[in-house]
Amino acid sequence: MTGTSGHRRGFAPLLAAALAMLFFAWGPARADQPAGTGRVPLPVLPKATGKHCVKPTEWMRHNHMKLLFRERDLTVYKGEFIKGRSIEDCIACHVHREPDGQWPKPTSKKFFCETCHAYAAVKIDCFECHAAHPVKAPPGVGPNGGNPLPADAKPVPVGDLGAGAHELTPMPVSQGAGGGSK
């Protein structure tokens, strides 16, 4: 057994040296560097239109998801909105049309969020539901209320209906008592 431990003692400094070498080799690579010197090029973020973000850029880089999670719960459960901090506001400032006039797809690296997330190997699904580009609500539609239908959208007069026209929607129709599922 003593022979074995002596063997171990002999290897300990070597191992430490190897670890130190690994640290010095990898350490600086992990820190932010100007693009081009690392193995993976750093993302180039599209410039935002606003003057400044809701928090300093460095803070946002590390904590934006905590902010988003906290405030989405405030909005969903309590109906509270913090001015300038909804996901719509983020999009309005950070997403711009491409030179060809198209909006970048949320899965494209030209999309603000995806630029960094591709680099950091983070996958998000925000934009499977949320709109990924600013949308201006037409009159009557959206948060400002009003009649969303165009002015000429009049109901069909009863006289025009042929037989069976009462099937207004193709969903199963309740026949008096009980549901009508097929």
Min dist. Cβ of residue 15 to another protein (A): 46
Span of 18-26, 36-44, 51-59, 137-145 interacting with another protein by CB under 8 A: 137-145
47 binds another protein (CB under 8 A): no
Binding mask 107-136 for another protein (x = CB under 8 A): ------------------x--xxxx--xx-
In Å, how far are 27, 48, 85, 94, 159 from 53, measured between CA atoms? 30, 9, 9, 10, 59
Q: Site size for another protein, by CB under 8 A? A: 54
Q: Which residues lie closer than 8 Å to 124 by C-beta, 6 or more apart?
A: 113, 117
Min dist. Cβ of residue 112 to another protein (A): 16
Which region, left, alpha or beta, applies to residue 79 given φ > 0 means left and ψ of -120 to 50 means alpha?
A: left
Total residues found in the chain within this entry: 182
142 binds another protein (CB under 8 A): yes
CA–CA separation, 64 vs 57, rounded Å? 10
Among 30, 47, 51, 154, binds another protein (CB under 8 A): 154
Backbone angles phi, psi at 5, to 5 degrees: -70, -35
153 binds another protein (CB under 8 A): yes
Q: Which residues lie closer than 8 Å to 29 by C-beta, 6 or more apart?
A: 38, 39
141 binds another protein (CB under 8 A): yes
Give the nearer residue to another protein in terms of CB position, either 60 or 86. 86
CA–CA separation, 132 vs 104, rounded Å? 8
Give residues in contact with another protein (CB under 8 A).
72, 74, 76-83, 88, 91, 125, 128-131, 134-135, 137, 140-149, 151, 153-158, 160-161, 165-171, 173-177, 179, 181-182
